[in-house]
Amino acid sequence: MIPPEQRMLPAVKPLSRDFWTGGEKGELRIHRCRACGHFFHPPGPICVRCQSFDVAAEPVSGRATVATFTVNHQQWLPGFPPPYVVALVELEEEPGVRLPTNIVGCEPDQVEIGMRVEVFFEQWEDVWLPLFRPVAQ
Ligand code: ZN
């Protein structure tokens, strides 16, 4: 367990509030355009595909695949012992929408590009960090 003062937390802003707090209800919430249906991340006020302002956060499945990753071996923070995996995962609902995250629940040398993963949340203060772990076989 990392003491909260050693965990860098994101600033929760109006546009990102759904993303950072959806985990309270077990939901990974991603911005989606109501005009064209496109999911996009990070959250913003306008659709990145069709420029509609009719956008809002929606829950997604939380299933994704590892698009790329690196294994960190450097001790950057006192409560964050290496090695750990920093990854971009691609959402099942929208190929091309990638979230930066950590892959946990397996050894770092077991992580592979294309590996299927699922979200879970770790609460720190008013933030529910979306982390990913391998899908149970
Ligand atoms: Zn759109």
| Cα 23 to ligand 1 centre (Å) | 25
Confidence of residue 103 (pLDDT cuts 50, 70, 90): very high
- Please report, rounded to a whole number, the percentage of residues in the chain having pLDDT higher than 70: 95
Residue 123 CB-half CA count within 13 A: 9
Q: What is the pTM of this model?
A: 0.91
Mean per-residue pLDDT, 126-132: 96
DSSP state of 6: G
User: How many A from CA of 39 to the centre of ligand 1?
Assistant: 8
Q: Is the pLDDT confidence value at 5 over 80? A: no
pLDDT exceeds cutoff 90 at 98 = yes
- Ligand 1 centroid to 33 CA: how many Å? 5
Residue 6 pLDDT > 70: no
User: How is residue 105 written in tokens?
Assistant: 């629940």
